Structure 1
């Protein structure tokens, strides 16, 4: 008789223990089930449904509204009791709420609806355009434009990043266009994050080849943009002109044999081409050597021929400076002569350069022209008239030889 209470207590404890154990197991099973759904999708709660997903819809206590459903390419699924619903681009929670709202509208009282991913679609993107290996690629987490470009083997030969625009067609139908060069520099506004189903197209601007030869830094063949196909743009691609370039005599020869002459002197003055030449594929652009020169002889430290740049204002003082200055002990600066050809005849002009050096008299510091011969005599030397006569008669031969050798 004394044992009965004990048995009752033990029986009550056993019942309580069994109830708690069952409750704990139920919680564990629910947690395992929920975690299993997440693992099956391999996605977070932000996972957005799309074509080729297979989903499971569970309406508690209503098997007739439950089942597995495949998401077709158009992204719309017809659910029992709920009718047709757009599935693409919705999260699992959003779709569950939509199904629940439809069932409520049709008279079902407070239904419990759960949506899980039974078989996720293959998450991939397409990379097309000017890449070495266009095609479909599995999308990896946090992939951006640069990673997709690398997976596709980079740009095809001859295409530069600066000439490319990247167009991204989203699965939702929206479109983004960014600069590839900015994306490669790491700008987040251009190096966009890619999403499943995106189609990324690398589109180069239209270019055509031209040859740039002569007095430029890097002669060769260059692809020039059709939208900015000017002579100046082509020369800029070749590194610009050299110091001894004849900017007023640039020639453009087309494949037809037709040739045009362009002056780029206006560019240096106003920053624009005076004459626009329509460049065509295969054009040959030649920047010739400038033959504008002058000579300085006599009592200077480095006599010889010197380049006279186009559009350059050069005075007698500049010329003497280019010859490393006059000999301070021997130079007769008060009788500097310039021999110049005018209308086919040689004309001698005398200047007192010493007066310019002392008082700044600009009339004694004339401008030098192409073909001038500057002579700085020595003090107490030979008769100046005889020296200048010899220069006038014989120096023209050496002048012509020099011009011939520099062509």
Structure 2
């Protein structure tokens, strides 16, 4: 009997020591094997004009293809008007299921909604893109670069600056995005989240014009930081009769007047500059 009591005391002491050790462990160690909740991904929200197919498991007579009205509602059999506009797909499925269940039409309805055509959430892409037009926002988190890809990308005549206008939280919204900086290593530029009704405008590329005694006169794309020497090189360089001493740049000032500048080879060119290379007198 005495030995059994000793064993019992030893077991109690061991359990107490294990509990104390567990309490002393850091919280991270205790929860290391705990399941990690899945991150919630925003769902597409139905909008006016969207065409949807609603099905109820094992109830084919309740299958319906319909369009969300301008007021955001659909007319569904047995339960009548249901507001789906502005709701996520899962919330819209629950709304119909609740209507069927509360009306005692289906005991345990399993509702599925498939979006056949996106018409309620759209954005316009205009300016210097290959396929300008109105595009549906088919996913909940469509970014500026996604929409540009749908529009075929920036055209040859398109610049790097894109203007996004719309509304956020009931207030007018406008942002200028320098697209190449989105992909640079140390960029702070955000790939803007596009919302319903946004307008994306792709600016024309900045251009300089060169004429006179150069090999290839005409307009050319103004690259970032382009100097006069680089512009001349892009134009094929001077002809045999051209001279660097006779180069003039016609530049429009802020007040709209044109001024004539005698630049150096390292001077940077600006959008709209007209470079004129004169003929050598000797």
- Taking structure 1 as the reference length, what is the TM-score of the superposition? 0.35
- Bigger radius of gyration among the two: 1
With a CA cutoff of 8 Å and minimum separation of 6, indicate the structure with the bigger relative contact order. 2
Higher helix share: 1
Higher strand share: 2
